[in-house]
Amino acid sequence: MKPGQLAAYLFLAVAWGFSFMLVLHTVGAFGWVGAVSLRCFIASITLYLVAKAIGRHLDFSAGWRAFAMVGATTVAGQLIGLSYATPLIGTAMAAILVASIPLFSMLIGQFWGLEKISAQSLVGIAFGILGIVILVGFPAVPVTQAFVLGCISCMLGCLCAAFGSNYASRYLKGTGSWEITIGSFFAGGVVTLPLFAVVPITTMPSLLDIGYLFALAILMSALTYITYFRLVATIGATKTISVEFVVTVIAVFIGAFLLDEPLSVAQFVGAGIIIIGCALVLGVLPPRKRAPVVPDL
């Protein structure tokens, strides 16, 4: 991974790691439908206006079906799953389950023949699975019906994210990251808009709530997804989406130290194992060099 790609990868990890706190605020103010639908429209429209202002040419010739599929999965499906689940299971646990996205992505990518997973990456995925098992298997909160429902919702969102990322890698390979982000977020907003009939906004949000929504939409959606789809095109879906491992660790510590969410010692151990898995998937840890063979004289 080149230095620029690594910097982009770390930007995604930090931005998405902190985004869970904003999700809690926006869901509380706008509901889980409003938090997703309005976020999508703000991100899409803002990027479109910026592109026009700077004279950037946008090419949407890939067709509405491709953008609609990515918008319905990676954007709407993932954000609905997280927005619905986070208030039920907490930011730390939601982030923990998000670490399953690279595992789903690897399986889908292998099935579609998009990427060839190396032995080292497979070991990294195994570490990731082990870390998730430790994190989820030893929760510090009661396992209630709402907790289980939140976990299921989050996992479905993770599956949507993995599918949409591989779909974009396969069918939108020649499309720019600006176009993918604008098109998919607009499609995600359209997909979720009818859900307002089921979950309307019941209270008048404050200016601070609106500020949180715009920060979530612009800083942690528009900018991050441009970066994300650019990385998908350059280093592949599985390596890019492995950023969720690091996102998990950052969000877990934010939940524990800033939001006072309970975590067990075993969960911290699991977070460390996930970091090792991520490093193996990315190839950050160099392979062990074999000793040179000295010929007999």
* 270 within a domain of the structure (yes/no): no
Provide the residue range defining the domain that includes 173.
Answer: 3-118+139-265
> Looking at residue 284, what is its pLDDT?
59
**Could you write out the three-class secondary structure of 28-93?**
HHHHHHHHHHHHHHHHHHHHHHHHHHCCCCCCCCCCHHHHHHHHHHHHHHHHHHHHHHHHHHHHHH
* 290 within a domain of the structure (yes/no): no
- The answer to whether the CB of 270 falls within 8 A of the CB of 141 is no
* 249 within a domain of the structure (yes/no): yes
Counted domains in the chain: 1
* 277 within a domain of the structure (yes/no): no
* 100 within a domain of the structure (yes/no): yes
* 235 within a domain of the structure (yes/no): yes
Name residue, tokens 């985004």.
19
Residue 139 DSSP symbol: -
Supply the pTM of this predicted model.
0.79
> Looking at residue 240, what is its pLDDT?
80
* 125 within a domain of the structure (yes/no): no
* 237 within a domain of the structure (yes/no): yes
Q: Between the CA of residue 242 and those of 28, 111, 121, what are the distances in Å?
A: 29, 18, 10
> Looking at residue 137, what is its pLDDT?
66
> Looking at residue 122, what is its pLDDT?
78
> Looking at residue 139, what is its pLDDT?
62
pLDDT one digit per residue (tens) for the chain, 297 residues: 688 888 888 898 888 888 888 888 899 999 999 999 999 999 999 999 999 999 999 989 888 899 999 999 999 999 999 999 988 888 878 887 887 777 787 778 777 776 677 777 778 778 877 877 776 666 666 678 888 899 899 989 999 998 998 888 888 888 888 999 899 999 999 999 999 999 999 888 899 999 999 999 998 889 988 888 888 778 876 678 778 778 877 887 787 777 777 767 777 787 778 777 767 766 655 555 554 544 544
